[in-house]
Structure 1
Amino acid sequence: MSYYSNIQKAIDFIEINLQEDIKLEEIAKASGYSIPHFYRVFAPLVGCSVKEYVRKRKLSNAAYDLATSKRSITDIAFDYGYGSHEAFTRTFKLTYGKSPSSFRKVNGEPWLYEKVNLLSNNKKDGVVILKPEIICKDERLLLGIARKVNQGENLKFNLLSNIKNKFMEMSEEIKNRVNIELHYAAYDYDVQDISKDENEINYIYFYGIEVSECSNIPLGMVMRVIPKAKYAVFHYDTMNNTLNGESLSQPVYDYIDGIWLPSSGFELSETSDYEVINQAESLIDYYISIK
């Protein structure tokens, strides 16, 4: 077997035992190498020492738990092998710039250090496999319009553009906007439609803007809450047709679903994906909900 396969066995062992006090000897044994041999080859392949890798993975999971649960900081600290609240706080602050309690109070949206997969290909059929940012994104409160769309009719009559234009006509009524330059779009599919031919698929298309609060919903609009969740984030430059800086030869979702996802090691979660559109800068951020 290659070095990649054997070091991946060690990485898999770390992941299974992430809440344990893992010894270097045990990790090296999982790879089949002696400790000196393992220590020498791990960092060049992974990009950091084994000790640093374990620390990053533990802190990343701890940050996710802090952001998404109400469990006590002490319980989370003990789960990831920290002997005391104080030791966990010191280490966490060095990485995230604030204490766990402060991080939780400000509704942190941590960038996450995910498990390394050495066996994923850098290319598939000659196409580069991108590495998106992985983030725990906070809840968003949106206000906009939602319409049922048939994909065949959309392709024929450009329905999505009509919905966007309708929203722009109505948007002056919206109060408490968070950022007037950013618009949000989301697609909700009927599971029974997924097996149909593309032109027969129906979905609910939402287009709107983020608000800080919503006490009065303007006539014809709907409120939508995007829950806090883990997302892979792709940045699309519409002017240059690049995704995360790489030239794109196919539609964005075709690349994400057909190229990136099967090679990523992630699975899609039940939370809806969404897009954040900055028309002034010709940028669209695609938030793909993962687990």
Structure 2
Amino acid sequence: MISALNRLVDLVEEHLTEELDVDGLARRLGTTEYHLRRMFSSLAGMPLSEYVRRRRMTVAAADVIRGEDDLLTVAVRHGYGSTEAFGRAFRAVHGVSPGDVRRDGGPLRTQPHLRFHLTVEGSIPMDTRIVDRPAFRLVGHAARVPLIYRGVNPHIQRHIAALPPEEHARLKALSDAEPRGLLQVSDDLGPDAAEGSELTYLHGVATSRDTPVPDDLDAIEVPAGMWAVFRTSGPHPQVLQDTWAATATEWFPSNPWRLRPGPSIVSVLDRADDFSTATCELWLPVEPA
């Protein structure tokens, strides 16, 4: 996976002003575009699309400062059809317009050329199992919320807090399939998802496909497939988020599995009254690499 990510970075540099054929590269490397993009964003700390934009504007800034061509020529050279579109992209990265940089020489925010390196870690074993599940259904209360990678997501907190206590009991009574109990489900999250982008969060339970869904509840249909299940225990949500990150840095690079599209699911098995600590299972949809 490390070599695949570095080949992807090289492809960005070779085609900086063109559309990237990430799917073609993924097929040549024996993986999928979805998995390659998800691993890139997890390890780089930004989506591939954001890295491409930052690199493109880093290189474009040199052309702007040199002043050998007018700004329209520079814009077209770097894949933009107008100075307005180029200016918006340039300002989004550098915080100033191309004209300001041409006049003042800066300020500029440079995106270095990324390289991925393997760091030997893994001194703490990850408690993992692989589960083959038939198709099932996730049922509960869904909301669109922004993605937050670290710490408690207040939008999700508010969504759950708005549900009356008796609703949690009703949902638990519907649960008749794994993962058991009340679930925290994240869905509709693209492989390039940046922090702040929207996802569908569902607070609910897993049911069989034959279980009737009450009219006032939302449902997500989940096809049959394999799941990697990671068990975590400790301060919440820190340990859960650390484990999620470690799946990209440690588990996937050393195991013959890759992510496939689908929801990620957190099952809370046990917790303190104030939720300061918890024992959870993180379910990620996978397929053989």
Structure 1 length as normaliser, TM-score? 0.38
Higher relative contact order (CA 8 A, sep 6+): 2
